């Protein structure tokens, strides 16, 4: 099929920052796009050829949207899967498939999937609601401290909490959840795997993630990870194993823990472009977003190597500020060599809301990390 400068339509469910950045590359290739998002202020509304406002969890809304496009993809997992099933049955190409999304959308099912397929992961227990977990904790059936995760609708910084006492459970929502053993790890790692509709598969280099201790959000993504080559090889091999078992098409971001004895455990996956791959826009031969487009359209996959060391700094709303956003220090960071900010198009800031990211590229990783620290300390996301 000829995708370029034709009437072909690619549909994207979700119009957040990932959708916006995906549109950089559909625009580059002149591939026409339709985007569906619940917010009239969605960041991707301006880059799409047609923007539709609607509920991603509503069957009719998603089904009708699917009927306007030739291939359908996602930038968020929380979408109506029954609608995707029907669209797929009627012949629409949906990537990743609803079958893959069903395995991933619920974190309890995701963890069970790893266990079933002998993929290394931290021990866990599933609970139908918070009351069941409280009873289990009081009966010493789960050991404190542990990591609580909402089974559905959680994302980076939301739906995850370290529980150090039974009293901590009182603040959590009464939803299906898992209690996961806290893993004493050296590093949090991630590998993005690209799998095309034609079966071609490639992995990006292993990245290392540094997290904010309170918000449980990634502060820095460092590529390549500062780890031993044998650990990197193991991480890439496990990511390929996970990709093979999920049989996804498109991108799969595999987040992992490197334990104190250099074992690699899978934490969770995301079947789409991911925060851990943003560095690739500036640092890689092929950005994760271009790669996703190539993969879902069955085009040859691009080179996943890095041209240069890359570090990404997340820009999140500063504590104590809510309202019309103002980026303090923007001119100062733009004056530094190798620094590129990406602003997501969200007018309103609030504490810890993801508002953008900054990529630092440098031939020297140590220097790149120093500049990343300087950027982090210089730019502030506040309100005016």
CATH number of the domain bearing residue 46: 3.40.50.20
Round to whole Å and give the CA distance between 227 and 280: 19
- Kindly tell me the sign of the dihedral angle through the C-alpha atoms of 201, 202, 208, 212: negative
Q: What residues form DSSP beta bridges with 209?
A: 188, 221
202 phi/psi in degrees, rounded to 5:
-145, 150
Q: What is the pLDDT along the chain (384 residues), one digit of tens a residue?
A: 899 999 999 999 999 999 999 999 999 999 999 999 999 999 999 999 999 999 999 999 999 999 999 999 999 999 999 999 999 999 999 999 999 999 999 999 999 999 999 999 999 999 999 999 999 999 989 989 999 999 987 665 578 888 999 889 988 999 999 999 998 899 999 999 999 999 999 999 999 998 877 666 788 999 999 999 999 999 999 999 999 999 999 999 999 999 999 999 999 999 999 999 999 999 999 999 999 999 999 999 999 999 999 999 999 999 999 999 999 999 999 999 999 999 999 999 999 999 999 999 999 999 999 999 999 999 999 998
Q: Which residues are annotated as a binding site?
A: 107, 149, 180-183, 188, 267-268
CA-nearest of 275, 345, 350 to 313 is 275
Q: Which residues are annotated as a binding site for ATP?
A: 107, 149, 180-183, 188, 267-268
Q: 359 and 253 share a domain?
A: yes
Q: 309 and 332 share a domain?
A: yes
Q: Can you give the pLDDT at residue 157?
A: 57
Q: Can you give the pLDDT at residue 198?
A: 95
Q: 262 and 142 share a domain?
A: no
Q: Are 192 and 204 in contact (CB under 8 A)?
A: yes
Q: 249 and 149 share a domain?
A: no
**Residues of 76-104 as b/e, b for ≥16 C-beta within 10 angstroms?**
bbbbbbebbbbbbeeebbbbbbbebbebb
Tens of pLDDT, residues 273-307: 999 999 999 999 999 999 999 999 999 999 999 99
Round to whole Å and give the CA distance between 236 and 304: 13
Q: Are 59 and 32 in contact (CB under 8 A)?
A: no
The residue count for the chain? 384
Q: 13 and 69 share a domain?
A: yes
Tens of pLDDT, residues 173-220: 999 999 999 988 999 999 999 999 999 999 999 999 988 776 667 889
Q: 245 and 358 share a domain?
A: yes
Q: 253 and 160 share a domain?
A: no
What the block records as the tokens of 79 is 């979408």
Look up residue 5 and give its DSSP letter.
T
Round to whole Å and give the CA distance between 229 and 209: 17
- Show the CA angle centred on residue 307, arms to residues 306 and 313, nearest 5°: 65
Q: 137 and 161 share a domain?
A: yes
On average, the pLDDT of the chain sits at 95
Domain end: 158, 181, 204, which one? 181
Q: Can you give the pLDDT at residue 245?
A: 96
Answer yes or no: is 233 within a domain. Answer: yes
- Show the CA angle centred on residue 39, arms to residues 324 and 150, nearest 5°: 95
What domain range is 29 assigned to?
A: 9-94
- Tell me how far CA of residue 218 lies from CA of 98, 113, 170, 179, 274, in angstroms: 28, 25, 26, 21, 11
Q: Can you give the pLDDT at residue 384?
A: 86
Answer yes or no: is 152 within a domain. Answer: yes
Look up residue 319 and give its DSSP letter.
T
Report the share of the chain in percent with pLDDT over 90: 90
CA-nearest of 239, 223, 237 to 306 is 223
Round to whole Å and give the CA distance between 163 and 171: 10
Domain count, the chain: 3
Q: 162 and 228 share a domain?
A: no
Round to whole Å and give the CA distance between 307 and 285: 6
Answer yes or no: is 35 within a domain. Answer: yes
Answer yes or no: is 208 within a domain. Answer: yes
Answer yes or no: is 33 within a domain. Answer: yes
Domain end: 131, 158, 181, which one? 181
Q: 196 and 345 share a domain?
A: yes
Q: 252 and 285 share a domain?
A: yes
């Amino acid at each position: 099929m000829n995708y370029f400068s034709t009437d072909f339509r690619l549909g994207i469910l979700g119009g957040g920052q990932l959708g916006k950045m995906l549109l950089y590359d559909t625009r580059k290739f002149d591939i026409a796009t339709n985007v569906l998002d619940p917010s009239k202020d969605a960041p991707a509304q301006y880059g799409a050829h047609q923007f539709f406002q609607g509920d991603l969890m509503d069957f009719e809304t998603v089904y009708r949207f699917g009927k306007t496009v030739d291939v359908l993809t996602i930038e968020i997992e929380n979408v109506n899967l029954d609608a995707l099933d029907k669209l797929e049955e009627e012949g629409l190409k949906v990537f990743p498939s609803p079958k893959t999304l069903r395995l991933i959308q619920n974190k309890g099912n995701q963890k069970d999937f790893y266990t079933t397929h002998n993929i290394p992961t931290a021990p866990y227990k599933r609970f139908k609601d918070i009351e069941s977990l409280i009873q289990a904790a009081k009966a010493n059936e789960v050991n404190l401290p542990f990591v609580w995760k909402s089974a559905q609708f959680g994302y980076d910084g939301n739906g995850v909490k370290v529980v150090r006492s039974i009293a901590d459970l009182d603040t959590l929502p009464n939803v299906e959840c898992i209690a996961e053993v806290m893993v004493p790890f050296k590093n949090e790692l991630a590998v993005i795997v690209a799998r095309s509709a034609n079966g071609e598969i490639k992995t990006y280099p292993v990245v290392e993630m540094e997290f904010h201790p309170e918000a449980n959000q990634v502060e820095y993504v460092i590529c390549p990870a500062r780890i031993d080559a044998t650990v990197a090889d193991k991480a890439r091999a496990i990511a390929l194993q996970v990709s093979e078992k999920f049989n996804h098409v498109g991108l799969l971001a595999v987040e992992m823990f490197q334990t104190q004895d250099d074992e690699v455990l899978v934490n969770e996956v995301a079947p789409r472009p991911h925060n851990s791959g943003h560095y690739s826009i500036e640092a890689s031969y092929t950005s994760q977003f271009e790669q996703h487009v190539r993969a879902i359209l069955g085009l040859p996959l691009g080179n996943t190597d890095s041209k240069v060391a890359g570090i990404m700094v997340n820009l999140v709303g500063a504590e104590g500020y809510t309202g019309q956003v103002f980026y303090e220090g923007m001119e100062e960071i733009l004056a530094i060599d190798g620094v590129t900010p990406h602003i997501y198009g969200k007018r309103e800031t609030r504490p810890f809301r993801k508002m953008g990211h900054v990529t630092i590229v440098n031939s020297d990783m140590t220097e790149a990390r120093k500049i990343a620290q300087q950027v982090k300390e210089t730019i502030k996301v506040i309100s005016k």
